[in-house]
Every structure is written in structure tokens, then in C-alpha cells.
Amino acid sequence: MWKVMIACLLALSAPAMARGAPAPQAAVEAAMTDSAAGWNAGDLVRFMAIYSEAPDTSFVTKTGVLRGKAVMAERYRTKYDFANAAKRGVLGFETLDFRLLDPTHALYIGRYTLTAGDGSKQSGMTSLVFRKEPGGWRIIADHSS
């Protein structure tokens, strides 16, 4: 009897799941892809759209912790030449691990690769904590090295 009830519940919920929001991992990976596309187009605003507007959003650097999207954007603006594609390079991400921490928080662990115009590559690890916000999944904590 309980097998029939479970089968009925699954059958009734499948259409709702199919038309609902994308799975969290797919949504986060799509946001990562769009952010990289922003970088590759030299569009700092699009690249930064993945970060939460919350004032306590953090980015860990070699010298300390930065807080707030505007502070992080200024760091990127001064460290990278967004007007020069050869100097800015091409950014890509590879997902290594993804964990849903609760229904509104996720951990993304990946490898970033930045390929310069001369073909040289810089690659490292990134650990990102995402929060589901009204506009989608947004980074609230970034530690990239």
C-alpha cells in the first residue's frame, strides 16, 4: 500500500518539478558562466552581477577581507584592465564540488583559469558561498587563490 502511495505522490509532483525553478547546481553554474562571459566581454557590471548587494558580502584576498560589492568592484577595476582584452584575459570556471547547504545556501568549489592574450595561464581554486536571493543565486562569500 505505501509503495502505491509513494508512486502516486511522485507521479503528481513530477510535472510541478519539471516546470519549477532550475536545480540549484544548474542555476549556480549558469550564473558562473554568465559572470565569466561578462569578464570576457570586458563588462565589469555583468561580471559582478553574481555578487550579492548585501553589505557584508566578502572577498578574501592575500592582504585581508574586503566587504561590499562596490569595494570588490573597485579592486577588480584597478587590478585588471577591462578595456584591454589581451591584458584582461579569458576567464573560465570548472566545477569541482557543489553542495546545497540548506534550501537557500550552497557551496561551490571550483577551479578558475585566466588565459592571457599571450597564451600564459593563471589558475587557482575558488570556494564560493551562494545565497538564493529574489534575483537568483548570489555570492555572499568568495575565497579565491
Domains in the chain: boundaries = 23-144
| φ, ψ dihedrals at 119, nearest 5° | 90, -10
pLDDT tens per residue across span 13-67: 444 444 555 699 999 999 999 999 999 999 999 999 999 999 999 999 988 999 9
The torsion of the CA quartet 137, 138, 141, 142, rounded to 10 degrees, works out to 100
CATH level 3 topology of 23-144: Nuclear Transport Factor 2; Chain: A, (3.10.450)
With a CB cutoff of 8 Å and minimum separation 6, the contacts of 38 are 44, 45, 46, 47, 48, 49
pTM: 0.83
Write out the E strands in 5-57.
Answer: none
